[in-house]
Amino acid sequence: MSEKTAKSMSIIVTKGSLDWAYPPFILSTTAAAMGLDVTMFFTFYGLPLLKKKLDLSLTTLGNPAMEMPMAGMHMKMPNLFAALPGATAGATAMMKDMMKKKGVASIEELRDLAIEADVDLIACQMTMDLFEYNESEMIEGISLGGAATYIERATQCDINLFI
């Protein structure tokens, strides 16, 4: 409970798909670049984002709001088609290609940026135990913590988000 000088932000990161990995990393790296103290707490499906080797994908299934630009139009993908084998790989490749063309950094790059900017990365101990992850699978420079660690931190922050 030190005296606060800089503004601060905490993010609970609970989703680990290719698309939902972006908001927490874009917000945290931008905030850190603006001088905020940033904490990211990785839990549930967001925990694998701390793995050394990322294998992210995305599906349009269950997301009727996803509109992919295609030949100057915006296309939505029917659920039945999205459920077919290969559709997840196809949508993932399409999104990665689209991001590369537009010069959007990869999640790996944003994660490196976050580490360089001293963003505090905390892995949820309970999720580690529940889903049987080993610390050796995770990148270096992170710490382990629980809900209490997060709450203690969040009471000190100006912005708290659950993503």
Residues 86-125 that bind its own copies (CB under 8 A): 87-88, 98-99, 102, 104
CB 24 within 8 A of CB 13: yes
Q: Does 59 bind its own copies (CB under 8 A)?
A: yes
In whole angstroms, the minimum distance from the beta carbon of 92 to its own copies comes to: 8
In whole angstroms, the minimum distance from the beta carbon of 117 to its own copies comes to: 13
Residue the block writes with tokens 């009727």: 64
Q: Does 144 bind its own copies (CB under 8 A)?
A: no
In whole angstroms, the minimum distance from the beta carbon of 140 to its own copies comes to: 20
Q: Does 1 bind its own copies (CB under 8 A)?
A: no
Closer CB to its own copies, residue 33 or residue 93? 33
Q: Does 20 bind its own copies (CB under 8 A)?
A: yes
State the pairing for strand pair 73-75/68-70.
antiparallel
Rounded CA separation 84/27 (Å): 33
Calculate the dihedral angle through the C-alpha atoms of 112, 19, 86, 68, rounding to the nearest 10 degrees: -130
Closer CB to its own copies, residue 18 or residue 40? 18
Closer CB to its own copies, residue 117 or residue 159? 159
Residue the block writes with tokens 């490196």: 112
Q: Does 3 bind its own copies (CB under 8 A)?
A: no
Written as six digits, the tokens of 131 are: 């889903």
Rounded CA separation 61/81 (Å): 9
Q: Does 140 bind its own copies (CB under 8 A)?
A: no
CB 40 within 8 A of CB 120: yes
